[in-house]
Amino acid sequence: MKCPRCVQRIHRAAVSCPHCGFTLADADLKFGAEEVRIGRLTDGAGILRRGERERVAAALDRVTQRFPQVFVAIYTGALGEVSHIRQFGFWLLNRSAFEDVPVDLPNEAGILITIDPESKAAGMVFGYLLDPFLEEADTFACLSRAHAYWLEGLYADGIVRLLGHLEAVLVKRSKQARKDPEYFERKVLPPPRLGELVRRIREGHRPGGERAQKTGKAVVG
Amino acid sequence: MKVAVFTGWLFGMAATLATAAAYEEPLLPSRDPQERELLEGAGWVAGTAEDGPVGEVPSPEIPEKFLPAYFAERPTAFLIDPQGLLGAEDFRDRLSFLNYHASDSSIDLYVYMIGGDQEIPGQLREEEMSERFFSEGRPAAIVFYYLGAPQRSALYLSPSITDAISAVEQQRALASSVMLAFEKLDPAEQIESFLVQMSIRIYWMERMLSGAPPSTDELPMVSRRVEMRQVKELSKQTNVQSLQVMAMKYAFPAAISLVVLLLLIAVNHRLRRRVIYRFPEFEVEPRLGGTHAAGVGAVISFASAHVPPASQRDQVPDYLRRA
């Protein structure tokens, strides 16, 4: 988990970035604090033609058919500096209301792909539902699949390719989660409180404690 | 030193002489006196060849007394051997074969048997004789065969077919027959092989006369080389045919299996595409004030082909990058 502004690693329940202090409120200052109503496929930059829009919409539908808990949204537009694209994606997925997404699918289940054809950059953000299952490396792999197409200006082809790889990643993660749900649950468990942490450390260092019993080694108290 | 060398030489000479004295030469062959008398009485002179009487040099030409039997008229049998060069049994066998050939072929084969070292008298020309005797009646191939010397053999055709069969073809027929004859050592076996091959070649000539190219499939007999070639070709054809038969036999089931396999793959693919995947839902504490999402994924730049995705993998802030 990284901060969308300073791209530093942050704690999984950080209220604000411990490095730069970033919160959604900072993004609100830049992009606005009001709710934004957009479509699931919003081509603000006008990079998709009619036929291409239909192809991309069909690919988006397919993701929702295979993963009924999830939806994918795409936003294209000029955002200015490249560094803003993370903050913008983070802000948009929290502040937007997708008009053509079923009501039973909250933004927590969303994956937002933001494409800025002006600065030629693209980013992905995802809701809390997918927090345990998607990692930055997965999103990077998806975006890499589209890179060659987007270099040539073939945005629709790149998006379809990206979504194809995203489906494969989600299939893999779903299967893994079915086999070992605890593994993914542990990734999102709330961090132990400080007092609890100290108690566990002391227990571990006490002779005959839980850890010593497990390992069978003498522990210095 | 000199004395020692001389003594050694003496010993060596003595040893050599002793060895020479001990050696006995084998006796020369001697003739029985009675046999010698008999031979000398018959005109034999010591130092001359034993064969034949003294002063009688064998004539290279066919004796005159046999000439009418050879060349007076058109022969009535296919094998002409007035000198009795062939043994009775061999004569019968060869004649039998020639009769068989005549019954099977439209071109008769006449064979004049001549001694291997004999000559046809100069006033007789075989070609002229062939024209004279064989211009009428069934077409014929006339062979002058020199027993024990097949290479001297000559082939002539009756005038009715001379134009149709080229000289090259005639020469080829004769050469192949001679070659087959030379594979045997016995003169009687040589003529047997010669006639068999000549009979085959005459069959080819027949085919040429009828205007059809000779087909090796229909040949009643073939020479060994042709046979070997045919065997190879036949084996190749057989291999190809067996492959074709095998292909025909298994092509249909293989095609069906392939189609079924492809269908299964397609159906499996479609079914897998229709499978619905679900994720377990866990309670996640909000971060950075985001009510719905804080999962910030990767950002990629596609501004330049010189900056591939691989170089953008480490997504750290600029101020953390090394200079």
The backbone torsions φ and ψ at residue B89, rounded to the nearest 5 degrees and listed phi first, read -70, -45
Kindly report, residue by residue over B79-94, the tens digit of the pLDDT: 999 999 988 889 999 9
In a domain, B193, yes or no: yes
CB contact under 8 A, B280 and A14: no
Kindly report, residue by residue over A9-28, the tens digit of the pLDDT: 888 888 899 989 999 999 99
Cβ–Cβ under 8 Å, residues B146 and B118: yes
Q: Alpha carbon of B39 to those of A199, B47, B56: distances in Å?
A: 143, 12, 15
CA pair distance B150, B182, nearest whole angstrom? 7
**What's residue A172's pLDDT?**
94
Residues of B in contact with A139 (CB under 8 A): 297-298
CATH number at residue B68: 3.10.310.50
Does residue B25 have a pLDDT over 90? no
CB contact under 8 A, B282 and A188: yes
The type of residue at B78 is F
Cβ–Cβ under 8 Å, residues A89 and B293: no
Structural domain count of chain B: 1
**What's residue B315's pLDDT?**
67
- In eight-state DSSP terms, residue B28 is P
Q: How far is CA B46 from the centre of its chain?
A: 51
Residues of A in contact with B315 (CB under 8 A): 2, 7, 136, 140
**What's residue B155's pLDDT?**
92
CB contact under 8 A, A136 and B297: yes
Kindly report, residue by residue over B221-278, the tens digit of the pLDDT: 445 555 556 556 656 766 777 788 878 888 888 999 999 999 999 999 888 878 899 9
CA pair distance B296, A134, nearest whole angstrom? 10
**What's residue A83's pLDDT?**
56
Cβ–Cβ under 8 Å, residues B291 and A33: no
Closest by Cβ to A14, choosing from B279, B288, B305: B288
What ipTM did this prediction achieve?
0.82
What number of C-beta contacts closer than 8 Å exist between A and B? 179
In a domain, B315, yes or no: no
**What's residue B126's pLDDT?**
81
Nearest chain A residue to B277 by CA: give it. Answer: A67
**What's residue B26's pLDDT?**
60
- What torsion do the CA atoms of B63, B68, B69, B73 make, to the nearest 10 degrees? 150
Residues of B with CB under 8 A from a CB of A: 273, 275-303, 305, 308-309, 312-313, 315-317, 320
CA distance A124 to chain B (A): 5
Instruction: Identify the domain containing residue B141 by its residue range.
Output: 64-220
What domains, with CATH codes, occur in chain A? 24-182 (3.10.310.50)
Q: What percent of chain B has pLDDT over 70?
A: 74
Tokens of residue B236, six digits: 């190749």
- ∠ CA B298-B302-B303, nearest 5°, is 130
CA pair distance B27, B261, nearest whole angstrom? 95
CA pair distance B89, B81, nearest whole angstrom? 13
Average pLDDT over residues A137-145: 94
In a domain, B284, yes or no: no
Cβ–Cβ under 8 Å, residues A89 and B296: yes
In a domain, B202, yes or no: yes
**What's residue A12's pLDDT?**
81
Task: Name which of A17-31, B101-115, B198-212 the model is least confident about.
Answer: B198-212
In a domain, B74, yes or no: yes
In a domain, B176, yes or no: yes
In a domain, B177, yes or no: yes
